[in-house]
Amino acid sequence: MTTVLVATTGGHLAQLHGLAERIPPDPDAVWVTHANEQSTSLLQGRDVEYVPYVGQKDVRGVLRCALHAHRLFRRRRPTRAVSTGSGIALGYLPYLAARGVECHYIESAARVGGPSLTGRILRWVPRVHTYTQSRSWSGGPWRYGGNGFDAFEAVAQRREPVNG
């Protein structure tokens, strides 16, 4: 099995990195993201393919990613793809799902009121499974599978009085 882990740098990559520890391990996994200080340090020692940055509503960037997804599919024959978004997911998941790859889109934990534009689009793509990290809007095509904050524990802090 080869798993493709796809995320834009920043919070999306940080979340996917944390969530990747919860999915069945895959020694052949390949990460697809943008090259910057965060990605090169966070993914050091891992198999990574860097692609040009995909900005918000960047149709050309999404199309470039779809071309890369095609090349990646031909070379690696992945069987599973997981993404936390954002626009980069639009170039990979629909293409890979159409080729029979098991695809999973996990909406960002920051999206507590509903899905992002990427999520709203991907929810309609056949064979792309969609997940939310927020219980408040799970249901229908959006399954709740936990969130990236589950590993943290809330601790009450002692408040010092303010002299006024």
Residue 145, both tokens: 């599978």
Please give the backbone phi and psi of residue 160, each rounded to the nearest 5 degrees, phi first: -85, 140
pLDDT score of 163 more than 80: no
| Domain 3-144 classification at class level | alpha beta
88-130 pLDDT per residue, tens: 999 999 999 999 999 999 999 989 999 999 999 999 999 999 9
pLDDT score of 23 more than 90: no
Mean pLDDT to the nearest integer, 40-54: 96
Do the beta carbons of residue 6 and residue 33 sit within 8 Å? Answer: yes
pTM, rounded to two decimals: 0.89
Confidence at residue 151, expressed as pLDDT on a 0 to 100 scale: 62
Mean pLDDT to the nearest integer, 29-53: 97
List the domain boundaries for the chain. 3-144
Range of weakest confidence among 15-24, 63-72, 100-109: 15-24
Confidence at residue 101, expressed as pLDDT on a 0 to 100 scale: 98
